[in-house]
Amino acid sequence: MEREKERGIEWDCAQVVTRFYNSLDAGRYDELVDLFAEDGTWKRQGEVLEGRDAIMAAMQDREEGMVIRHCVTNLDIRVLDEDNAESAEYVTIYRHISEEKLDGPAPLEGPGVIFLYQEKLVRADNGWKIAGKAGRPVMVRKRPAA
């Protein structure tokens, strides 16, 4: 495959991964779900969500007073062929849960965890989609002794 074509695939797939986290943090779950293939899977919090309906149901169960941001670094896209790619990225997660909607910024207490996420991406009729997504923690904040 010529390098320009490969570079275009890398860019398109990087945009899918970036849009996933932006949609997740902003609560735009319709957009998030549309980034998955029809039969896409997401291993999330120990459970495998299979298909767009299961992913949407999990998103609708998220806590309303949660402010969360996923800071993505070291995004690496590997083009396998014209229709398949893989990605990996580190994600540092900042989270705050409030009983009520905040008028200003959420308090920042530092990240709780750094994950390594990996995706399998496939070309669909309407662009690149996530066929599978899974992650595992690589660093976790040590909790103070009680």
**How many structural domains compose the chain?**
1
Residue 146 inside a domain? The answer is: no
- The domain spanning residue 34 has which CATH number? 3.10.450.50
Q: What is the pLDDT of residue 75?
A: 98
Residue 41 inside a domain? The answer is: yes
Q: 27 is in which domain, residue-wise?
A: 3-140
Q: What is the pLDDT of residue 143?
A: 74
Residue 9 inside a domain? The answer is: yes
pLDDT band at 54 (very low <50, low <70, confident <90, very high): very high
Dihedral through CA 40, CA 84, CA 138, CA 65, nearest 10?
-40
Question: Is pLDDT at 146 greater than 70 in this prediction?
Answer: no
CA dist 99 and 116 (Å) reads: 30
Mean of pLDDT over the chain: 94
Environment class of 142 (CB within 10 Å of its CB; exposed 0-12, middle 13-18, buried 19+): exposed
pLDDT tens profile 65-105: 888 999 999 999 999 999 999 999 999 999 988 877 777 78
Residue 145 inside a domain? The answer is: no
Please give the average per-residue pLDDT across 49-61, as a whole number.
Answer: 97
pLDDT band at 109 (very low <50, low <70, confident <90, very high): confident
Q: What is the pLDDT of residue 142?
A: 81
Give the tokens for residue 129.
């989609």
Residue % of the chain over a pLDDT of 70: 98
Residue 70 inside a domain? The answer is: yes
